[in-house]
Amino acid sequence: MKIAFVGKGGSGKTTLSSLFIRHLAAARVPVVAVDADINQHLGAALGLDEAAAAALPAMGAHLPLIKDYLRGSNPRIPSAEAMIKTTPPGEGSRLLRIDEDNPVYDACARTVTLDGTPVRLMATGPFTASDLGVACYHSKVGAVELCLNHLVDGREEYVVVDMTAGSDSFASGMFTRFDMTFLVAEPTRKGVGVYRQYKEYARDFGVPLKVVGNKVQGPDDLAFLRDEVGEDLLVSVGHSEWVRTLEKGRPARFAYLEQANRRALETLHDTADASYGRRDWERYTRQMVHFHLKNAESWGNARTGVDLAAQVDPAFVLFEGAAAPQPA
């Protein structure tokens, strides 16, 4: 299951995504955690110290390796240089699975142990001033999008992505890659502003979306969120002394998280699990191709010097039982 956490900056989406990852780990569910935010804080939220978080390998720095591995023997892709972030898989492509060993994980993932359970953690890498200029920092998350395009995952297998804040999540087709998107919203006008933007985009592409109210301090806050987001409000989370203790560098066992917040995480898990029955791999593949052709026409063909539309395998549909990856 592919799960995204989105929201405005400061909404608490990184905290909520880290709590959900810990919840899954406590349930002994295989998890790959991905920090795709412009501000790289997921590692620290999962308990890494500053040095360990800074030492996480950058997926963007390993993009040539990722491309070369994923293209496999696909005859429509003559070289890794001809791939862009939206290149879809086809016959001969190598696919990724959550609970496996492969060169992509070897290069880009590090293991974080949460209450005795190993979790793979990946990160786009730190952003620099140059990334915010002409180069555009969205190129950094291209490695994440490419991996998601080639991922086949099943029930009770999770990729949890902490997305970049605000409407920047719509800068590519990556927002359509998820089985469920949890939008973290504070009970303020600004807090629900991103929700309205996301709802509009999600509606056009059939993206499942639920709102997680955060920093909810009483009935008035809860009523405000219900008035603003209606039935999309799934659950609310209040103050957490457990989180405050973690942020002070004195983490307690996850079992000591407040019961109300544990119940909220169980609701997220149940909701994500229920989305499995609504999976439509054909639509998923069509959306992948749609954004690839759009990017090819707008900038990809000119940048690579090839016709990227030729990379589309019209007979290929990604699905859970797809053939196992070829040996590296």
Q: What is the pLDDT of residues 104-154, one digit of tens each?
A: 999 999 999 998 899 999 999 876 555 444 344 455 788 999 999 999 999
Percent of the chain whose pLDDT exceeds 70: 92
Residues in the chain: 328
Q: Is the pLDDT of residue 325 over 50?
A: no
Alpha carbon distance 10, 118 (integer Å): 28
pLDDT value for 198: 87
Domains recognised in the chain with CATH numbers: 2-300 (3.40.50.300)
89 C-beta neighbours (distance < 10 Å), count: 27
220 band by pLDDT with thresholds 50, 70 and 90: very high
32 band by pLDDT with thresholds 50, 70 and 90: very high
Provide the token pair at 225: 């969120």
pLDDT digits (tens, 9 = 90+) for 42-85: 999 999 998 999 999 999 899 999 999 999 999 999 999 999 99
pLDDT value for 134: 35
Best CA proximity match to 183, nearest among 174, 192, 170: 192
Mean pLDDT, all residues of the chain:
90
170 band by pLDDT with thresholds 50, 70 and 90: low
- Whether residue 172 contacts residue 138, with contact meaning beta carbons closer than 8 Å, is answered with yes
> What amino acid occupies position 14?
T
The predicted model gives 151-163 an average pLDDT of: 95
pLDDT value for 202: 83
Best CA proximity match to 127, nearest among 27, 57, 28, 40: 40
